[in-house]
Amino acid sequence: MRQATVNNRENEHIKNHMTRRSFVKLSALAGGTAMLVGLSACGGQPSSTGPSSQAASSTSSSANSRSGSGIIASRQVPSGCLPIDVGAVVDNVCTALAVYEAVQKNKPLVENSVTVTGECFPKQANLMVRVGTPLKYIIDYLGGVPEDAAKVISGGPMMGKAVANLDAATLKGTGGLLFLTREQTKRMPESSCIRCGKCSEACPMGLEPFLLRRLYKAGDMDALEANAAQDCIMCGCCLYSCPAGIPLLDIVSQARGQVMGIMRARAKK
Ligand code: SF4
Ligand code: SF4
């Protein structure tokens, strides 16, 4: 494990071989079919910002693969489909670097950059970490778990998952470890929906989370599909923006899972 200037390294490769937000035809990789590949910037600098401000970068990177193919490549992704279905791939620079190293250097993905951060974490850092490294090795290397940390999140503050056991190993997609205090993980008490529409305004996929919640409670799967519950990217923006403390993310992700199950079963027939 070594401390690394990850962004500089990525930028150097990209400057030499690709241009940010440019299109690269990777005919060979696409099995002879021309494919548009758009690059979007990935985060990675240690930050002392709280969950809400970090949320923006996490959300935008997640939404990028779908909205990016529309914005960059002018290829709209239909509901329930992936960018690859319209012949587009939009990835962050970390993935582009991994593709470059695999194709040009015959180097498999054996390590990736992990950002360790959080307001309560004193030694925030970007590290190059071998895939399979136990999380506790990384944390011990940086001085151990801070006393006031209540939760460790693997991934970003909104789409990341709480880590139950620090013996778990990093995977190829482990991009960050975030330490949150008890104060930051506290949920506000739930009250009734006041129909303020803030959840809809915040949704990067243009969904209406308050409506999806109502439809899910009514068990109306057809209406959920018609209102694109399957397009939820589980970013959690609706949950963070709701002044009534309604657990919209939990509800919409359950609705999404059930609708996708129905869609998959239908496709098999
Ligand atoms: S419904 Fe909520 S979790 Fe799903 S994409 Fe919209 S804001 Fe994100
Ligand atoms: S943000 Fe919360 S209170 Fe406002 S409309 Fe959405 S669910 Fe209702």
**Residues contacting 12, CB < 8 A, separation 6+:** none
pLDDT for the residue numbered 72: 65
Q: What is the distance in A from the centroid of ligand 1 to the CA of 47?
A: 24
Instruction: Tell me the pLDDT tens digit for each residue of 198-242.
Output: 999 999 999 999 999 999 999 999 999 999 999 998 989 999 999
Tell me which of 203, 214, 224, 240 to substitute to probe ligand 1's pocket, judged by most ligand atoms within 8 Å of the beta carbon: 203
Eight-class DSSP state of 227: T
Report the residue among 187, 199, 217 best suited for mutation to probe ligand 2: largest number of ligand atoms under 8 A from its CB.
Answer: 199
CA distance 234 to 192: 22
Q: Which of 166, 164, 165 is nearest to 140 (CA)?
A: 166
Q: How confident is residue 252, by pLDDT bands cut at 50, 70 and 90?
A: very high
100, 16 Cβ separation under 8 angstroms: no
First-to-final CA distance of the chain? 49
Mean pLDDT for 51-62 is 36
Burial zone of 104 (CB within 10 Å; 0-12 exposed, 13-18 middle, 19+ buried): exposed
Note the pLDDT of residue 151: 93
Q: Which fold has domain 111-185?
A: Ubiquitin-like (UB roll) (3.10.20)
In angstroms, the CA 131 to CA 124 distance is 20
Is 20's pLDDT higher than 60?
no
CA of 141 to the centre of ligand 1 (A): 35
From the CA of 241, give the closest atom in ligand 2. Answer: 1
pLDDT at 11: 39
Residues 125-139 have pLDDT tens digits of 999 999 999 999 999
| Residue having the nearest C-alpha atom to atom 3 of ligand 2 | 193
- The response to whether residue 94 sits with its C-beta less than 6 Å from ligand 1 reads no
Distance 246 CA to ligand 2 centre (A): 7
Domain boundary assignment for the chain? 2-105, 111-185, 198-268
What's the average model confidence in pLDDT over 135-154?
Answer: 95
Whether 26 has a pLDDT exceeding 70, the answer reads no
Q: Which of 20-29, 48-57, 136-145 has the highest mean pLDDT?
A: 136-145
Is the pLDDT reported for residue 24 higher than 70?
no
Our mutation pick for probing the ligand 1 site, out of 216, 238, 254, counting the most ligand atoms within 8 A of Cβ, is 238
pLDDT-derived band of residue 73, with 50, 70 and 90 as boundaries?
A: low
Give the position, in ligand 1's atom list, of the atom nearest the Cα of 248.
2
> How many other CB atoms are there within 10 angstroms of residue 20's CB atom?
13
Average of per-residue pLDDT values in the chain: 78
Task: Give the sheet arrangement for strand 2-3, strand by strand.
Answer: 2-3, 125-130, 111-117, 176-181, 149-154, 161-162
Where do we find the tokens 């997609």?
Answer: 173
